Amino acid sequence: MTSTPSTVIGTAVGGSYDLMGRLTGRHLVRHIPGKPSVLYQNMPGGGSLLATNHIYNVAPQDGSVIGAVVPGIILSALFQEKSVRYDPRKLQWVGNAMDAIPVPVLYHTAPVKTLADLKTKGAIMGAGGISSMDATNAFLMNELLGTKIQVVQGYKGGDAMNLAMERGEIYGRASSAWVGWRAIRPDWIRDGKLIPLVQFGFEPIDDPNLKNVPMLTDLIKDEGDRKIARAYLTLAVLGRPTVMGPGVPKDRVEALRTAYKAMVADPAFLADAKKQRIDIKPISGEKIQEMVAEMWALDAKLSDRMRSIVRKKKPKKKK
């Protein structure tokens, strides 16, 4: 490994993925021999497609580059999209420090206020690109819950979408994790500026602000659609994963996985995460590798149905 490892972050500066990527980067190196400094490179585009393609095909395969990517890149590969130049099963997953249960929200100034409003009046929500979770979550809600969300793509990261919400350009977001809101916009939660609509997880989030917010699967009546939702929600459990390229030698991957496991148990890391209102729920790289493989074991009809939902149509471009 070089003396100055780098972390490629697949989103823009300022959002919760960037926050977690930098938190992981500065603490992970403390568990690497020599405790090297770390460089950060934000590479937003296509819901981390650009960054993942880079990590897989361009970045040195010597262990000096790790990636902090959006789990939605797994769907893009599963659906065999043209822009994909990687195989998630061959990427080498280092670990995941937190789950990131998305809670679609409306901003308090939006003309619609409830999930019922989204079914009758609709809503405008933002996204980076068609493969981003902001887009795919909205498409899933439209198909399985009957909402009428219009997705406008082209935003350069979470900060840009949050600003658009404040300006009234969009009404809300479909993918930002609740833990992300707590970390980067705690005042919005405190002041009631976010209206949570539904929880995209397997278990309710332990937060009094979400006490009466339903789970996605509880709102779906059709059993087949519930199976699709449960498969899709696997991505939420993966949260903010760290990954390495396919050609990195196994001994270096194992060394970094060991360092990662030490990091998530390190009191200094846990204290830093707590300070930033991040709940740590680690998953090992080995377990992520299994979870990714299981996505490819999905029934073909189920996979095709999921593709038809989340890639149903391209969202409109932001003007």
**pLDDT computed for residue 184 by the predictor:** 87
Alpha-carbon distance of 267 to 271, in angstroms, equals: 6
Half-sphere exposure of 62 (CA within 13 A, CB side): 8
Choose between 39 and 234: higher pLDDT: 39
Dump pLDDT digits (tens) for 279-291.
898 999 999 999 8
Residues 171 and 165: their CA atoms lie apart, in Å, by 6
Q: pLDDT of 210-239, one tens digit each?
A: 999 999 999 999 988 988 898 888 877 888
Name 293's Cβ contacts closer than 8 Å, sequence gap at least 6.
89
Q: What does each C-alpha distance from 75 to 48, 108, 215, 283 come to in angstroms?
A: 12, 31, 22, 19
Q: What is the mean pLDDT of the chain?
A: 91
* Domain residue extents for the chain: 6-99+239-298, 105-234+306-317
Right CATH number for 105-234+306-317 from 3.40.50.10420, 3.40.50.800, 3.30.1780.10, 3.40.190.10?
Answer: 3.40.190.10
Phi-psi region of 176 (alpha: psi -120 to 50; beta: other; left: phi over 0): beta
**Between residues 99 and 124, the one the model is more confident about:** 124
Query: Class of 6-99+239-298 per CATH?
Result: alpha beta
Which DSSP state fits 177? Answer: B
Mean pLDDT of 156-175: 94
Q: Say yes or no to pLDDT of 178 above 80.
A: yes
pLDDT digit string, tens, across residues 56-102 = 999 999 999 999 999 889 988 988 888 999 999 999 999 999 877 89
Note whether 6-99+239-298 and 105-234+306-317 share their fold. yes
Burial tier of 317 (Cβ tally within 10 Å: 0-12, 13-18, 19+): exposed
